[in-house]
Every structure is written in structure tokens, then in C-alpha cells.
């Protein structure tokens, strides 16, 4: 039987918007739960965390200047929402040719200060096995922290959650935070599941040119992230400019080919007339 707390955790998905919102008839458990975007903010690299090996690390250890970072906040004993988010993330990751630890990094940070590195390690083992790419263990990190650090990190990314003491659970929003290789907040991806194309473009955008092909960057120029649609949608003017440039280039190439054909024809005619 699903508890009332679990239903609350699932229901809080409706608050996955670009700004914290007030929704009519919001359950008491969801008051104050949401996301306030802080795009462009640099996260504090000195925040102290515990990794899944029980070692103390700092957040800046994961910003190498080369790989973008997917940050997820949740808790490992979550009965519903967190597992749905992470299971869906694995499903999407399996459809990408890029792999965690190579082209990008994933940080999964617990918002429950009572959770241990032992629990984090067990959760990591489960998801790496599901991911079916063992090398990703070097690039997907499950982290814990004390309450002060959790509060500071959640505040920096604008992640407003609530601890429900009666249910001993947390109410929070389904969201992934896309960070640059230097630790800057670049994009918020809302909802339980992300389309492979959406996650790929978000990684390209967050990478600031360090990953992806030239075609990926052209696509990113032509598409913008629509938080309501929860995906990248065509940006009309940019798309028109690119299509116009392609049309001009194609027309120019055609005219060049026709000019060369005509030139050869004239040379051949001149040679024939000279005989």
C-alpha cells in the first residue's frame, strides 16, 4: 500500500516550473516546495561532502574544466519519486553514445543528513549495474553531507524541499541541474523523464563547447529550452537564419556548378570552331 507521504512526493511534480509558484489548494505538505532558478550562479566549490567510499571531498573536486555535470538532489531511501527520476535517467543515458566519466559527470547528492556513505555505495552499485556501463562508476558519484552543507547547496541551486516528520520523508521537485565544467548553473531540466535529445542538447549547452559535434552546436543555436514543454523547441528566428544560410550556400554552389559547366561548354565550342 502506498503511503500518503509517497503520494505527496509524487504530487509535488506539479511544482516543477522555472520559478517557485503558488498553486491553489496546495496540500500543506507541499507549502514552500519548488524551484527558484539561479541561472549563471557559480556553486561554492568548497562545500564539504562524503563520497560513496566514505572519503571527505569538496564539490569543486568534480568541476574539472572539461566535463559538464548533471546534479541531482534526492535521498537514497526515497519510496517513489527519487527512484523514478534516477531510473528514467538511466534509461535515457543508455540511449546516448556518451558515457558518464568520459564526456560528463553525474553527482547524486542526498538531502537526508542521516544517510550514510554505505547506503550511497549500495545505491551507486545498483544504478551502475542498471546502466550496464561499468566504466561509468568513475563518473557517477553518490554523495552525502551534513545538514548545513545540504542547506547551502539546496539554497544555491534554488531547490526548496520539506521534511515531513510524520512520514519521515521529503517532499521535493523532480529536477536535474545542468552545470558547466566550472560549476556554473546553466540549465534546469524538469520532470521525471528526459528525452535523449533533450539531455544531449542540455549537456552540449552546459559543456560550453567542450563536448558535442559542430552539428550539435548548430542544433543548439536553432533550439531553445522551453520549461513548459520540458524540452528544446525550435527558435524561429535562429532557425530561419540557419535555413537562409543553407539556402544561400546551396544556391551559390549550384550557380558555381552551372558556371563551370557553361565555361567548359564555351571552351569546347571555341575549340571546335577553331578547327
Name the DSSP letter for residue 141: E
* CA–CA gap between residue 87 and residue 18 (Å, rounded): 23
215-219 long-range Cβ contacts below 8 angstroms, 24+ apart: 218/242
- H-state helical runs in the chain: 4-11, 81-94, 117-131, 147-157, 196-207, 214-222, 236-273
| Bridge pairing between strands 105-110 and 140-143 | parallel
pLDDT for the residue numbered 208: 85
Calculate helix-pair angle for 196-207, 81-94, nearest 10 degrees.
80
Summarised one tens digit per residue, pLDDT across range 76-132 is 999 989 999 999 999 999 999 999 999 999 999 999 999 999 999 999 999 999 999
Residues near 18 by beta carbon (within 8 Å), at least 6 away in sequence:
35, 37, 188, 190, 227
pLDDT for residue 274: 64
Q: Which three cell numbers stand for residue 171?
A: 517532499
pTM exceeds cut of 0.85: no
Residue 200 banded pLDDT, cuts 50, 70, 90: very high
Q: Cα(206)–Cα(184) distance, rounded to whole angstroms? A: 8
pLDDT in tens, 203-248: 999 998 778 766 555 555 566 667 666 676 765 444 445 444 445 5
Q: Measured in whole angstroms, how far is the alpha carbon of residue 96 from the centre of its chain? A: 13
Report the SS3 class of residue 272. helix
Phi, psi of 217 (to 5 degrees): -70, -35
DSSP lists the bridge partners of residue 185 as 179
pLDDT value of position 214: 61
Picking from 178, 176, 180, 200, the residue whose alpha carbon sits closest to that of residue 190 is 176
- List, in sequence order, every residue forming a beta bridge with 58; answer none if it has no partner: 48
| Domains annotated on the chain, with CATH | 4-210 (3.40.30.10)
Is residue 95 classed as helix, strand or coil in its secondary structure? coil
Distance separating alpha carbons of residues 13 and 85, to the nearest angstrom = 11
- Residue pLDDT, tens place only, 132-186: 999 999 999 999 999 999 999 999 999 999 999 989 999 999 999 999 999 999 9
DSSP 208: T
Task: Give the single-character DSSP code of 144.
Answer: B
- Measured distance CA(33)–CA(13) in Å, rounded: 10
Amino acid at each position: 500500500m502506498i503511503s500518503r507521504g509517497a503520494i505527496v512526493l509524487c504530487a509535488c511534480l506539479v511544482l516543477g516550473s522555472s520559478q517557485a509558484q503558488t498553486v491553489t489548494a496546495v496540500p500543506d505538505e507541499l507549502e514552500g516546495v519548488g524551484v527558484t532558478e539561479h541561472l549563471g550562479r557559480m556553486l561554492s566549490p568548497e562545500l564539504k561532502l562524503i563520497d560513496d567510499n566514505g572519503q571527505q571531498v569538496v564539490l569543486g573536486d568534480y568541476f574539472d574544466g572539461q566535463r559538464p555535470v548533471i546534479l541531482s538532489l534526492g535521498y537514497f531511501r526515497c519510496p517513489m519519486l527519487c527512484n523514478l527520476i534516477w531510473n528514467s535517467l538511466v534509461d535515457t543515458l543508455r540511449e546516448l553514445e556518451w558515457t558518464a566519466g568520459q564526456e560528463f559527470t553525474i553527482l547524486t547528492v542526498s538531502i537526508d543528513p542521516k544517510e550514510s556513505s554505505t547506503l550511497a555505495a549500495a545505491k551507486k552499485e545498483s544504478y551502475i549495474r542498471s546502466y550496464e556501463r561499468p566504466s561509468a562508476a568513475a563518473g557517477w558519484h553518490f554523495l552525502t553531507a551534513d545538514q548545513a552543507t545540504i542547506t547551502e547547496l539546496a539554497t544555491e541551486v534554488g531547490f526548496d524541499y520539506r521534511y515531513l516528520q510524520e512520514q519521515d520523508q521529503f517532499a521535493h521537485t523532480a529536477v536535474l541541474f545542468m552545470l558547466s565544467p566550472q560549476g556554473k548553473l546553466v540549465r534546469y531540466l524538469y520532470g521525471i523523464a528526459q528525452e535523449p535529445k533533450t539531455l544531449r542538447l542540455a549537456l552540449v549547452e552546459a559543456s560550453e563547447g567542450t563536448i558535442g559535434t559542430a552539428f550539435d552546436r548548430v542544433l543548439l543555436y536553432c533550439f531553445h529550452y522551453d520549461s513548459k514543454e520540458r524540452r528544446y523547441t525550435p527558435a524561429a528566428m535562429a532557425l530561419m537564419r540557419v535555413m537562409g544560410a543553407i539556402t544561400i550556400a546551396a544556391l551559390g554552389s549550384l550557380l558555381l556548378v552551372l558556371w563551370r559547366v557553361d565555361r567548359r561548354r564555351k571552351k569546347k565550342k571555341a575549340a571546335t570552331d577553331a578547327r
